[in-house]
């Protein structure tokens, strides 16, 4: 398939997606009981129809035309069943469609040959992300959402701290799990020769620590770059089409419980300060905050150091003992460490610390037993 044919195929698929979404929003608007929700659904439908028209215009420029939209009986039946399940189910399905469209438009932008058309597609991609967040808000009770926003702003330490704490806990868990398996397997294969276990264990410690640290750094750096690019695009949209962005901001406030007039007034006041509007839109539309951007180096060090710490635990007994006593001691302290790591996970995930600890304890014990007996199947003669 040529690049031009691939682009036309992508435009046609996007056109169908927008028409289908617009029909769903129109149907939801007809079924909406509250006028505020009805207005939002209509505006979303209109936005999807604008997108469809842009794709149709681009297809005509390429000497093609939008395909005839014939909705199959199966598609109509699925939409009917979805609507019978309730508005929330339909909104969640629409949210999933918006997420699909977001990914689809990323590929479409990559295939676009004209800079202006590519910018249009990326702008629509951002709008689809905004629609997804709007729909997500609509399936959540507004009052708790507002309270949560307030709580998170008051407890910024919690947001900032969760990243490195999570990296530390999961890094330690990863290091402990992988090296415990190596130590148990090598111990089983070498009749628990301390020399072989220590050498293989230390090699695994270094490899895991570097791997986890580098992985955390690259992942966090990429995430931060994506955040910064999204903010740059949002700033450009505010500069090029401030009225559209102000309308989107008003929609978010309507979903949080404000009346349409209150939402428009609040959005207008915020729009008077472009930088504040940028921060607000980035937070509401994209779920980002410049104050909570992850630090790649902090994530890398916490992941690497705690991975090494967790990975070193199973080796400790072999520095002081040999044979079966060292194996038993390694199993004991590693299982205890598994329990501690599991119980500590509640710092990042919440839940019951004892249950989480026991779960990790059993998993760790299983890893050790399985790898030890696998090692015994491949015993080597060290003489």
Same domain, 306 and 189: yes
Are residue 122 and residue 42 in the same domain, yes or no?
A: yes
The answer to whether residues 42 and 29 touch, using CB atoms and an 8 Å cutoff, is yes
- What token pair was written down for 366? 């299983």
Instruction: List Cα–Cα distances, 181 to 171, 338, 360, 374, in angstroms.
Output: 15, 13, 14, 10
Give the structural domain span for 103: 3-139
Are 284 and 366 within one domain?
A: no
User: Does 52 map to a domain?
Assistant: yes
**66 with 161, same domain?**
no
- 209 has a pLDDT exceeding 80: yes
- For the chain, what is the domain count? 3
Q: What angle do CA 104, 106, 107 make, to 5 degrees?
A: 70
Each residue's pLDDT tens digit, 119-131: 888 888 788 877 7
Say whether pTM exceeds 0.75.
no
Could you tell me if 307 and 171 are in contact, meaning their C-beta atoms sit under 8 angstroms apart?
yes
In this structure, are 120 and 50 located in the same domain?
yes
Verify that 20 and 116 share a domain, yes or no. Answer: yes
Question: What's the pLDDT band for 82 if we cut at 50, 70, 90?
Answer: low
Tens of pLDDT, residue by residue over 290-335, are 555 667 888 888 888 888 888 899 899 999 988 888 888 988 898 8
Handedness of CA 146, 149, 153, 155 (dihedral sign): positive
200 and 340 co-located in one domain: yes
Q: What are phi and psi of 257, to 5 degrees?
A: 115, -5
SS3 content of the chain, % helix, strand, coil (to 5): 85, 0, 15
3-state secondary structure of 258: coil
Judge if 46 and 100 occupy the same domain. Answer: yes
DSSP letter at 66 equals P
Euclidean distance between CA atoms 360 and 381, whole angstroms: 34
What residue spans of 256-322 are helical by DSSP H?
260-271, 274-286, 296-312
Q: What's the rounded mean pLDDT across residues 60-89?
A: 69
**Lowest pLDDT segment from 81-95, 104-118, 369-383:** 81-95
């Amino acid at each position: 398939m040529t690049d031009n044919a691939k682009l036309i195929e992508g435009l046609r698929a996007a056109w169908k997606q927008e028409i289908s979404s617009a029909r769903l929003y129109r149907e939801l608007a007809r079924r909406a009981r509250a006028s505020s929700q009805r207005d939002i659904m209509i505006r979303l439908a209109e936005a999807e129809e604008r997108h469809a028209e842009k794709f149709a215009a681009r297809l005509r420029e390429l000497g093609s035309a939008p395909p005839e939209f014939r909705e199959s009986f199966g598609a109509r039946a699925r939409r009917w069943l979805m609507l019978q399940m309730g508005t929330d189910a339909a909104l969640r399905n629409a949210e999933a469609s918006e997420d699909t469209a977001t990914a689809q438009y990323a590929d479409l932008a990559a295939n676009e040959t004209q800079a202006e058309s590519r910018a249009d597609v990326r702008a629509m991609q951002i709008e689809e992300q905004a629609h997804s967040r709007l729909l997500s808000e609509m399936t959540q009770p507004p009052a708790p959402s507002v309270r949560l926003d307030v709580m998170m702003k008051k407890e910024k330490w919690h947001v900032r701290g969760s990243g490195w704490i999570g990296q530390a806990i999961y890094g330690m868990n990863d290091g402990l799990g992988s090296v415990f398996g190596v130590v148990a397997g090598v111990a089983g294969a070498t009749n628990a020769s301390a020399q072989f276990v220590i050498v293989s264990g230390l090699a695994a410690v270094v490899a895991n620590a570097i791997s986890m640290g580098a992985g955390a750094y690259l992942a966090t750096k990429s995430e931060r770059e994506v955040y910064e690019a999204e903010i740059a695009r949002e700033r450009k949209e505010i500069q090029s089409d401030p009225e559209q962005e102000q309308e989107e901001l008003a929609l978010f406030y309507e979903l949080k419980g404000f009346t349409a007039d209150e939402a428009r007034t609040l959005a207008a006041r915020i729009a008077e300060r472009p930088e504040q509007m940028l921060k607000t839109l980035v937070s509401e539309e994209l779920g980002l905050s410049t104050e909570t951007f992850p630090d790649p180096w902090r994530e890398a060090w916490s992941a690497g150091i705690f991975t090494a710490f967790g990975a070193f635990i199973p080796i400790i007994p072999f520095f002081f003992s040999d044979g079966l006593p060292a194996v038993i001691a390694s199993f004991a302290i590693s299982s205890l460490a598994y329990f501690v790591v599991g119980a500590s996970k509640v710092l990042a995930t919440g839940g019951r610390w004892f249950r989480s600890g026991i779960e990790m304890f059993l998993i760790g014990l299983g890893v050790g037993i399985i790898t030890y007996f696998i090692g015994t199947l491949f015993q080597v003669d060290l003489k």
